[in-house]
A = this chain, B = another copy of it.
Amino acid sequence: MPKYIAIAAMTLDGKIARHKNHMSNWTSKEDKVFMHALLDKCDAIIVGNNTYKTAIKPLSKRNCIVLTKSIPHNVVSRFIGCYQKSDSLLFCNPNKANIKRLIRTLNYKTIAILGGAQTYSYCLKNNLLDELYLTIEPLVFGQGINLFAENQSLNKKFKLLPVKKLNPQGSLLLHYKKI
C-alpha cells in the first residue's frame, strides 16, 4: 500500500501562512533542511495549485501531482481528469480523477503532501493521509490560513510519534500517525 505523508509547518496558533500567496519563507532553516531530506525519500509530491505556483522551480526536480479544478475540458490524457504536462508533472482535478488509483498505476510507494490547507483537507477526508510531520514554529500570526480548510467539521484521531526540537529558539517537529 502506498504511504501518504503530509508535511506542514505552522505557527503555534495554527497558521500555515498569513494569506494564500504567502511564501513558506517564514519557517526556520532547520525545518527546510528536514523537509528536503524527507522529500528526497518520497517518490512523488501532491500539492495544491496555489502552493505549486509559489514553488514551481524547486518542485520541478520532483514528481508532482498538482490538484486543481481548472483542467481544460478538451484535454485528452491517459489518466481521467488529469493533464500530463511532462513526465514528472501531472495536473489533476480531485473531483474527477481517482488519485488513489493514479498513484497505484504510477507505482509510487511514498507520497508527500505539501499543502496548502485545501489539499491537506482533501487528503485527510479521502484517506490519503497516513502520517503527518508538523513543525510548530514559535511564532504567532493571529490571522492567516489554518492547517485544514474550514469547510467541514472533522473528528480525526492521531497518535504522536517521537518529537524533535530543531533549534535553540524551539521550532518543534511533531510526527503523528493517523489512527
A residues in contact (CB < 8 Å) with B: 10, 12-15, 18, 121, 124, 132, 134, 136, 138-144, 146-148, 150-161, 163, 165, 169-172, 174, 176
Contacts and interface: CB of A to CB of B under 8 A. Distances in A.
19 contacts: A12-B176, A13-B14, A13-B147, A14-B147, A18-B153, A121-B142, A136-B136, A136-B174, A139-B157, A141-B154, A141-B155, A142-B148, A142-B150, A143-B152, A143-B154, A144-B153, A160-B170, A161-B170, A163-B165
B160 A169 contact: yes
A8 to B, nearest CB: 10
Given A14-B146, A15-B14, A160 B172 contact: yes
A176 to B, nearest CB: 6
Report copies per complex. 2
A157 to B, nearest CB: 6
A158 B134 contact: no
B140 A156 contact: yes
B146 A13 contact: yes
Contact of A12 (B121, B141, B158): B158
